[in-house]
Structure 1
Amino acid sequence: MTRTPARFALVLCLTGLGALVAGCAQPQVGRDMSDPYEVQNRSVLSAVIASDTRTLRPVSQAYGTHVPAPARTGLSNVASNLALPAMVVNDILQVKLGDAVQNTARFVVNTTLGLGGLFDPAGQGGLTAEHTDFGETLHVWGFGEGAYLVAPGIGPTTTRDFVGKAVDMVLDPLGYVITAPASYATTGVKLTERFDDRYTYASTIDEAFYKSADPYVVVRDAYLQKRRYELGMSDAPDSGTYDIYEDLYE
């Protein structure tokens, strides 16, 4: 009975935290970004690359090699479909009602006619997803980008988007509907999507992680260019850097 009020209170606390950290760590005048945690970020990225070497990279290669492409596509479709309800909530918070209607219609069509999102009849009919998240909601509400971070389990982000990701988990309507043990299956589907993304973008990610002179700078610049483009803060980034985090950490 107290689950919803407790989650609402958590959303308020996290939003307040987002306002604090974003407000206290704005990019300095004359700089393109704020990176006051570079030492810590480099340490986390080193751990991320080590984990990629030991686990994510070989598992994703095995997944991409042994799981047929239609099955991988279907599982990715399901994962994408599961993300839509949280996007609808953010559309409403941003007062983008047209996007909210479109994402809702896409979810309904693919959940029913698409067998839980396994297939994409909505996309074939022109109902594409309008991607958004609570980090974008905070941007629309006027919160600054804050400092650049590399967070364990998340990857490159900013203080604003780090809080946004936490709030998205709380706001997701499916979190109230799909409970254990069914929620274990949804978690598994989302994990397979990460394997598929790592396999799909293997050459670009390998180039950044293992062949660049300074992986930290490459990853940071690629992420910030992509994110700022998504939020309408800059022009489209170079294609060579854009693909690095196209889907890997989304």
Structure 2
Amino acid sequence: MVLAGCASKPVMQDGIRVNDPYETQNRRVHAFNKALDSRVIGPAADLASGRNQSESGPGIMDGVINVGANLSLPGKVANSLLQGRPEPAIRNFFRFAVNTTLGIGGLMDPAGRDFGLPEQDTDFGETLAVWGVPEGAYLELPVLGPSTQRDAVGKVVDLAIDPLRRLLHPDAAWATFGLRAASKAGDRARFGDTVDSVLQDSADSYAQVRLIYLMHRRYELNEEGAEIDPYADTAADAVIDPYAP
């Protein structure tokens, strides 16, 4: 699939190379995702998180987001090791250990607050990039949203290599998966205004989401064709896998 995607002729969008030979199919999936977000995911995320928290303070979803992020750390440790990067693997390991114990299963973040151990984000898509696998064609996946052929493979492998799936009882593993999915729903609510602006107010939301994803992802992987601040509170932060565990 990656080789087939690389064989097509890319085009330029706002100075960014875009390889999208499956645009017709991708736009159909995008229309489905957009309707699903508008009618189900967005409202459910807002309801679960208590999006209007100006009076009530942080909602219970904040704790779910923290727990979901904590449960993702063992997989990040595995990926860092596969990339030959022991330092972020060690930091994520100790972050997981501290937050799971002192942080009551990850509800709180003493590792970042007291020990200077912020999360070192990575995934198997980045592992493939480190191994030299090309990006491939752009894809929009049902529910999961924007991706590439390389990152789509990475999402599947991330589920397969997650150490918690092998260590926990199947019921506990599914509960872990559910918490991570709920955490992403919380992220959707947190960036709700920006996501709504991109999906509902853009003249061509498909092209906008595609551009933001490719720019942000290439910046993360230090690949060519990306000039964007990944830490800014922009659409780039909001549309990258807002639903995927």
Q: TM-score, normalised by structure 1?
A: 0.85
Moved more, 212-221 or 188-197: 188-197
Structure 1 residue 236 and structure 2 residue 218: aligned?
Answer: no
Match of 2:184 in 1: 194
Question: In 2, distance between residues paired with 1:219 and 1:246?
Answer: 9
Q: Is the CA contact 2:10–2:19 (under 8 Å) kept in the aligned structure 1?
A: no
Structure 1 residue 46 and structure 2 residue 28: aligned?
Answer: no
Moved more, 90-99 or 177-186: 177-186
Question: In 2, distance between residues paired with 1:241 and 1:70?
Answer: 23
Q: TM-score, normalised by structure 2?
A: 0.87
1:102-160 Cα distance to aligned partner (Å, 9 max, x none): 11111111111111111111001200111000100000000110000001131100000
Structure 1 residue 88 and structure 2 residue 77: aligned?
Answer: yes
Moved more, 130-139 or 233-242: 233-242
The AA in structure 2 aligned to 1:45 is H
Out of 100, 103, 110, the position equivalent to 2:92 is: 103
Structure 1 residue 185 and structure 2 residue 179: aligned?
Answer: no
Q: Paired residues, what number?
A: 230
Return the offset for 1:244.
Answer: 2.8
* SS of residue matched to 1:41: helix
Question: In 1, distance between residues paired with 2:134 and 2:229?
Answer: 20
CA 1:53/1:70 → structure 2, altered by over 3 Å: closer, same or farther? closer
CA 1:190/1:153 → structure 2, altered by over 3 Å: closer, same or farther? same
Structure 1 residue 33 and structure 2 residue 18: aligned?
Answer: yes
1:27-65 Cα distance to aligned partner (Å, 9 max, x none): 636740210000000000100111112211111221222
Q: What is the RMSD computed on CA atoms of the aligned residues?
A: 2.0
Out of 53, 59, 78, the position equivalent to 2:44 is: 59
Q: Is the CA contact 1:85–1:107 (under 8 Å) kept in the aligned structure 2?
A: yes
Return the offset for 1:177.
Answer: 1.5
Q: Is the CA contact 1:222–1:244 (under 8 Å) kept in the aligned structure 2?
A: no
More helix by share: 1
Question: In 1, distance between residues paired with 2:238 and 2:217?
Answer: 12
Q: Is the CA contact 1:77–1:118 (under 8 Å) kept in the aligned structure 2?
A: yes
Q: Is the CA contact 1:87–1:132 (under 8 Å) kept in the aligned structure 2?
A: yes
Return the offset for 1:179.
Answer: 2.5
Q: Is the CA contact 2:67–2:179 (under 8 Å) kept in the aligned structure 1?
A: yes
Moved more, 21-30 or 193-202: 21-30
The AA in structure 1 aligned to 2:216 is K
Match of 1:212 in 2: 202
